[in-house]
Amino acid sequence: MTSVTGVNFAPKGALRRLMDRKLAVFGMMLIAIVVAGAIFAPWIAPFAPDQQNFDGLTIEGAPMAPGGAYLMGTDLLGRDLFSRILYGARTSLLIGVVANGLALLIGTLVGLTAGYFRGWVGSVLMRFTDLMMAFPALLLAICLAAIFQPSLWIVALVIALVNWVQTARVIYTETTSLATRDFIAAERTLGASTGRILFKHILPHLVPTIIVWGTLGISTTVLLEATLSFLGVGVQPPTASWGNIIFENQTYFQSAPWLVFIPGAAIILLALAFNLVGDALRDVLDPTQRGRA
Amino acid sequence: MSAALPNAGAALAPEVLSVQGLTVSVRTGNGDRALVENLSFTLHRGETLAIAGESGSGKSITSLAIMGLLPPPAVRITAGSVRLGDTDLTKLPEAQMRSLRGARIAMIFQEPMTSLNPVLTIGAQLTEAIRAHSDATRSEARAQALAALQAVRLSQPEQRLKQYPHELSGGMRQRVMIAMALALRPEVLIADEPTTALDVTVQREVLDLLRDLQREFGTAIILITHDMGVVAEMADRVIVMKAGQVVEAATTRDIFVAPQMPYTQNLLAAVPRMGNGSRVSSDVPRDRSGETIARLRDVVVRFPLKGGILGRTTAHVHAVEHVSFDIRRGETFALVGESGCGKSTIAKAIVGLAPHQGRIEIAGQSFSDLDAAGQKALRRRVQIVFQDPMAALDPRMTVGALIAEPLVIHRLGSAAEQRARASELMQRVGLTDDQLNRYPHEFSGGQRQRICIARALALQPDLIIADESVSALDVSVQARVLELLQTLQREYGVAFLFISHDMAVVENISDRVAVMYLGQIVETGSRAQVFGNPQHAYTQRLIEAVPVPDPSHIRAASPRLAGDVPSPVHTLGQGPARLVMVDVGDGHLVARLYDGAEKHCLSSANFRRE
């Protein structure tokens, strides 16, 4: 029997080291809360997300401020904001995690391939990336969304297709410099296959970059989804998403600030949570950082 | 020669710099840790004091402390004084210190390219430095700058003022740095490894220049270096440092003739010396008719330079030109030459990392004849050990995984067998089993190079290419790694292609030597032939230029003016003159021009006086 996966000399317990970091645990708890809220929304939410409550508006017809029966207040149609945030988490998580993850995957693969092989493969891939970058992202998204029948998954796909370019650019640059390092030359002289070099020796060094772009991407993609919804090509109302709650209500920012603040805070907290976990993950996975706080 | 009369004149000269009880500490999690402890010395006008030591000895920290350039806030002077004339530099506010730097106390660094601003011309940088410290007008400053360049004997000083740093060679850049440092006639010049990044012939020129300028201006020099050869040639007095402590301080002659401390004795013993190469490895009888492991025939490597709007190839860098040699089983074949001579390119071509013309055979096979599987199999026969072990080891893998990596790639043995082999190799190169789970950054430079050697040995190759593999190591570490290589060679019968710029190291370990210049071999033969009876002028110049770690050694006068190294770039259709090797006896080959006429750059006569 031969071993091709590599001999495992790594000290065990990356997960335990992750759990040792308070901020990482805090981030994971935040993510867990959002995920739980999204999954159990039908049981937790006091109202249906699109239910327009008669007592949800003041006598003048204005939305109610947070407090009382409506924990986070109501919106212009008298819908309970707390319920909408819970259901909106489903959309936003999907966009922030799936669409963003897909964008990262495409960007990393394109950047890695172009950066390692250079030559005409690299030229073609990077010129295409530049083309995509030059194209206004929103216009592209609208075109794509118009072609396909709008649904949550299509929106996620569209966002991924728009958002991978920056990642590809950054990964490309890093890969080109990594590929010229001596330890990659050493691998080649040992006879390592291209796949092994790319995924076992170059990719791990890109993890910090991928994590940074991944966490940055969460808020960008969630807001892009909101823009698309606002333009009528994203998630269709009355389905809630954090982004479209902000967009629906941004004109009433002066009189009903909670309608913008609360979903805004939710997006920021989610991005922050992923950022904390991502940072910790990067340090835990980097052997040269071991033993430092 | 100043070293011949140590201290005799200097003792009478006035004192310029006095360091008393200097302690530099770094703030760490658990209190201060001293990097330099209780260092005291005085420096007289016109004197050269060498601070010698291996990496981590605190010699560079000392120079930064004197200049007031310690990286704030963690590293700072915690005790002692540095007096320049009547001023205590440690108590001087930064603004006054700044006006002093460059004017009264100047510094030159190891790497001149990073010390010069790449987007400003040499002239702009020189005049700026001059005007920062004097009221000189622009034209006066320019005149002074020109004079400074003339003083460091740069050819065409007028043109140099208009050039950018990248247009100059390494040696010329270091001359510019010296010109800049000495333009304001400082009392003290700190030279931190001024010639370490330079080729040996260029080093020779820069050292000569420094000595001449010192005599002319009476500058006191603090020379920071790890090279005992440079110490012997330049210094009047030496301070040997180790781990922040002064080990020994004495005149240069005393240090070399009668070192008192064991550390100094060991340090001096480890210094590779020219002329006693027979001392090592001669006890091993070698089979001279051994089978050929690697055969290079007419190998040519050219890199295209593209230009014009269509991106066509307009010129070639002729990195390697018609190189042929054989390496036999179990021998050490050394390839020696200065930077840019193509020696590393040959290494890359042999392991298949650089495209080449001509034929390279390893154990009778050539990469170009084989399919992917055959190439992979052939890779087992030849391995390479790079110069910088930190760069050659994937920092995210444990040492155990790194050593087992070749076995994993070639699917040799089960996981348990691979693990056992890794730990066996680890012990073989002098490391221990329990270090297998550590990462490369947890090891010292020498240990890392041992790990690279272990990895190269894992596949039991026939040939290991050592590309400047000991150049980045301290001499004492270097000596032990060389010893290890020789032991391993005896044990495994592996052949070495030893690539180096260091003549002394090459003389100590090689069986046969080839000297390269501008992509071609100019002389090749056994060690005794090449070092004992060098025939080509370039070989002679290389051997002459090596600093001798003996202060009583008297050097023959050598030509002084800095010439440009001829460029290996030629436009299409052009090329360097082809050399033919002439046998001058018993396999000792020396280059002659193809047509026999000695007129081109590679002819022997041109090296004599440039």
Arithmetic mean of pLDDT, B424-449: 88
Mutate to test the interface with B, among A183, A184, A285 (most CBs of B within 10 A): A183
Domain stop point among B501, B531, B561? B531
Alpha helices in chain A (DSSP H): 14-19, 22-39, 41-44, 81-93, 100-117, 119-134, 137-147, 152-179, 182-190, 194-196, 203-230, 242-249, 258-285
Q: Is A14 on the interface with B (CB under 8 A)?
A: no
Largest CA distance in chain B: 76
Q: Is B509 exposed, middle or buried (0-12, 13-18, 19+ CB in 10 A)?
A: buried
pLDDT, tens digit, for every residue of B335-393? Answer: 998 877 888 889 989 988 888 898 999 988 888 888 888 888 999 999 999 888 888 99
Count: domains in chain B: 2
What are the chain A neighbours of B411 within 8 Å (beta carbons)? 2-4
Asked whether the ipTM of the predicted complex exceeds the cut of 0.90, the reply is: no
Q: How far is A30 from chain B (nearest CA, A)?
A: 30
Does B179 share its domain with B313?
no
Arithmetic mean of pLDDT, A157-168: 89
Does B173 share its domain with B301?
no
- Which chain B residue has its CA at the smallest distance from A184's CA? B392
Check CB contact under 8 Å for B380 and A188: no
pLDDT, tens digit, for every residue of B443-497? Answer: 888 889 999 999 999 999 999 999 888 887 888 888 888 999 999 998 888 999 9
Check CB contact under 8 Å for A9 and B437: yes
- pLDDT(B409) > 60: yes
Give the per-residue pLDDT at B51.
Answer: 92
Whether residue B73 is preceded by a cis peptide bond, meaning omega within 30 degrees of 0, is yes
Give the per-residue pLDDT at B418.
Answer: 92
Check CB contact under 8 Å for A189 and B351: yes
Q: How far is CA A241 from the centre of its chain?
A: 14
pLDDT, tens digit, for every residue of B225-245? Answer: 888 888 988 899 999 998 888
pLDDT, tens digit, for every residue of B536-564? Answer: 888 888 888 888 888 877 766 655 444 55
Check CB contact under 8 Å for B409 and A9: no
What are the chain A neighbours of B379 within 8 Å (beta carbons)? 189-191
Compare CB distances from A192 to B351, B409, B441 and report the shortest one's residue. Answer: B409
Give the per-residue pLDDT at B222.
Answer: 93
On whether residue B116 sits in a domain, the answer given is yes
- pLDDT(A106) > 90: yes
What is the domain-level CATH number for residue B402? Answer: 3.40.50.300
Check CB contact under 8 Å for A288 and B399: no
On whether residue B266 sits in a domain, the answer given is no
Arithmetic mean of pLDDT, A53-77: 75
Give the per-residue pLDDT at B453.
Answer: 92
What are the chain A neighbours of B418 within 8 Å (beta carbons)? 3, 7
Q: How far is A190 from chain B (nearest CA, A)?
A: 6
A43, B116, B196, B371 from A39: Cα distances, Å: 9, 61, 65, 55
Domain stop point among B129, B153, B185? B185
On whether residue B39 sits in a domain, the answer given is no
- Contact, A85 vs A72, CB < 8 A? yes
pTM: 0.80
Check CB contact under 8 Å for A183 and B392: yes
What are the chain B neighbours of A191 within 8 Å (beta carbons)? 375-376, 379-380, 406, 409-410
On whether residue B190 sits in a domain, the answer given is no
Compare CB distances from A2 to B392, B396, B414 and report the shortest one's residue. Answer: B414
Give the per-residue pLDDT at A113.
Answer: 93
Arithmetic mean of pLDDT, B248-264: 90
What are the chain A neighbours of B371 within 8 Å (beta carbons)? none
User: Which of A1-10, A167-176, B49-58, B586-595 bottoms out in mean pLDDT, i.e. has the lowest?
Assistant: A1-10
Q: Which domain holds residue B464?
A: 291-531
pLDDT-derived band at B3 (thresholds 50, 70, 90) equals very low
Compare CB distances from B384 to A6, A189, A201 and report the shortest one's residue. Answer: A189
Does B297 share its domain with B181?
no
Scanning A122-161 for CB atoms below 8 A from B yields none
Compare CB distances from B392 to A9, A186, A287 and report the shortest one's residue. Answer: A186
Arithmetic mean of pLDDT, A238-258: 82
pLDDT-derived band at A7 (thresholds 50, 70, 90) equals low
Check CB contact under 8 Å for B413 and A2: yes
pLDDT, tens digit, for every residue of B33-82? Answer: 888 988 999 999 989 999 988 887 888 889 888 988 887 778 888 888 89
On whether residue B460 sits in a domain, the answer given is yes
Q: Is A274 exposed, middle or buried (0-12, 13-18, 19+ CB in 10 A)?
A: buried
Domain stop point among B152, B169, B185? B185
What are the chain B neighbours of A187 within 8 Å (beta carbons)? 394, 405
Arithmetic mean of pLDDT, B182-207: 84
Rounded Cα gap, residues A252 and A234, in angstroms: 22
- pLDDT(B8) > 60: no
- pLDDT(B10) > 60: no
**Closest C-alpha among B192, B253, B176, B184 to residue B219:** B184
Q: How far is CA B76 from the centre of its chain?
A: 30
The CATH number assigned to the domain with range A16-42+81-289 reads 1.10.3720.10
pLDDT, tens digit, for every residue of B124-173? Answer: 988 988 888 888 888 889 998 998 888 887 878 888 888 888 888 777 88
On whether residue B36 sits in a domain, the answer given is no
What are the chain A neighbours of B410 within 8 Å (beta carbons)? 191
- Mean pLDDT score of chain B, rounded to an integer? 83
Q: Is A255 on the interface with B (CB under 8 A)?
A: no
Does B383 share its domain with B498?
yes
What are the chain A neighbours of B439 within 8 Å (beta carbons)? 287-288, 290
Give the per-residue pLDDT at B577.
Answer: 76
On whether residue B550 sits in a domain, the answer given is no
Residue B414, SS3 per DSSP: coil
- pLDDT(A37) > 50: yes
Q: Is A11 on the interface with B (CB under 8 A)?
A: yes
- Contact, B191 vs B215, CB < 8 A? no
On whether residue B352 sits in a domain, the answer given is yes
What are the beta bridge partners of residue A186? Answer: none
